[in-house]
Amino acid sequence: MSYTIEHLATDFLIIGGGVAGLRAAIELARNGDVLVVTKDAPSESSTEYAQGGIAVALSDEDEISIHFDDTIKAGDGLCTRKSVGTLVEEGPTRIRELIAWGAEFDKEGSKLAFTQEAAHTKRRILHAQGDSTGHEILRVLIDKVRTTQRASKIDFAFTADLIIEKGRCTGAVVVQQRLGKVLVISARAVLLAAGGAGRLFERTTNPPVSTADGMAMAWRAGAALVDMEFIQFHPTALFLPGAPQFLLSEAMRGEGGMLRNTDGLRFMDRYHPARELAPRDVVTRAIHSEMIRTGADHVYLDMTHMFDKYLMWRFPRIYRTCKELGIDISRQQIPVSPAAHYIMGGVKTDLWGATTVPGLFAAGETACTGVHGANRLASNSLLEGLVFGERAGLGAARYAARRERPEAPSGRFLKDLEKRHSGVNTASDIDFVRTSLRKIMWENAGILRTRKGLQAATKKLREWYRMIKNPPLERQALELKNMIEVAHLITRAALLREGSVGGHYRTDFPAKGKNWRKRIVLEHTRSRR
């Protein structure tokens, strides 16, 4: 396919339109023109799909210090304490700000209503419309961005690569496949907020857009990545042949939902004293063990002891979706099994979103500040997007204050671009490899891992990378390259960590092992712990 090439210039380029990207856009619009690029429709982000809520220490019974302790404990000893402190201390301000902008969180009378989720010792989870918290936050942020009058948006535009000139990031190459255009966008600073990597796994709660694009392009640009071995598998995704892998919110267990095996027995008391409210990695492995023990491919989430009117009020989206799929959750147990949900690792940043590449910033699930450690505390992700989205915006604004808008890239750059994307891949090849990759990652880099399985996955990923090294400028091919690259980073880090911590579990190294507190940083020149 042939493309026309256009050059655009802006002060700030944001790649991704979820909570982190939009909160950064609000901040950056105070300092210049902002362009937000998303590869799909505005609603296609993990923020939109977030059901359970947003964790914040705002209730009368809670304290910031308790939220801090719960986050550290859930992270299994690998959280960066300064990052966690920043999250929990600035979180209340960000939430009050959202409410001032029009966010309508659920209330009990005149007070905010809080619920509890796994590994929280207090009821601190705010929710909106029962189980549509992400949707409400996205609505408010989009409205606020519109009021700035200095932010514009391009949807259905795939960012193929970052532009690096003289060691700093000066823009990105964006493909508008439907229009037959390639946009070469120059910017004083670039911020990655492109979401996670759930689509690298056969079972996932993530939307189709979560193909690790931000991490892959940061890696190619020379940025360091960290904690890539730590994948969180959500314990309760709907398991129904032919149906979507729909997330059953953690809040359902927080409100009293019970896990039962296919023999009808409640089993979590055999695995953890907190039962269904144990940390996610513990619950996930417990479910996995029960499935193996009973020879089943699922367990059940039981809400049948609760009133149907309460369930319809508290979990309207879940209630409605399950009903459409033939399950009345007030009368029938829900078949569930784990699915890939969140990556704790990502592009290494400081507390202001700066990566190891000058001019390049990152926030949200694409980034890794160390706030989640080895296992994210439930409902901390939306709060992280708000807190570190704002901080990344401030950091990018400070950086850009010392820079002029870069000039258009040279003719040599355009020739190199054409060379880098000279390959031809058929749709059938791409679909086959994509399906095979997700299956291999689920089986070999999923809930339980071994050296043998990780090595097998790594070998196959290398073969596929040679096939897709120079993809055409088409979304499916570009996504596949990103998936292969980041999948390889995950298996590489998982091989290096010869021990089990949080979401990373090696059956050949079940103990934490020596030097387990050291984080694995992946860089082009070397990998270090």
**What is the Rg, in whole angstroms, of the alpha carbon atoms belonging to the chain?**
22
DSSP assignment string, 218-242: HHHTT--EE-TT-EEEEEEEE--TT
Q: Using the 8-state DSSP alphabet, how is residue 255 labeled?
A: T
Question: Hey, is 308 helix, strand or coil?
Answer: helix
Cα–Cα distance, 121 to 74 (Å, whole number)? 11
280 is catalytic: yes
Instruction: Give 182's contacts (C-beta < 8 A, 6+ positions apart).
Output: 3, 4, 5, 6, 173, 174, 175, 176, 417, 473
CA distance 389 to 14: 11
Q: How many CA atoms lie within 13 A of 324 on its CB side?
A: 11
**For residues 462 and 413, is the Cβ–Cβ distance under 8 A?**
no
8 Å CB contact between 184 and 163: yes
CA dist., res. 388 & res. 312, Å (int): 34
Between CA 126 and CA 92 the distance in angstroms is 11
Distance, in Å, from the CA atom of 14 to the CA atom of 46, rounded to the nearest integer, reads 16
* Residue the block writes with tokens 């301000």: 93
Q: Which of 124, 188, 199, 280 is catalytic?
A: 280
Euclidean distance between CA atoms 183 and 5, whole angstroms: 6
Q: In what order do the strands lie in the sheet with 225-226?
A: 367-368, 346-348, 225-226, 521-522, 527-528
CB atoms under 10 Å from CB of 41, counted, come to 12
Q: Mark 310-335 as b/e (b = at least 16 C-beta within 10 Å).
A: ebbebbebbbebbeeeebebbeebbb
List, by residue number, the catalytic residues.
280
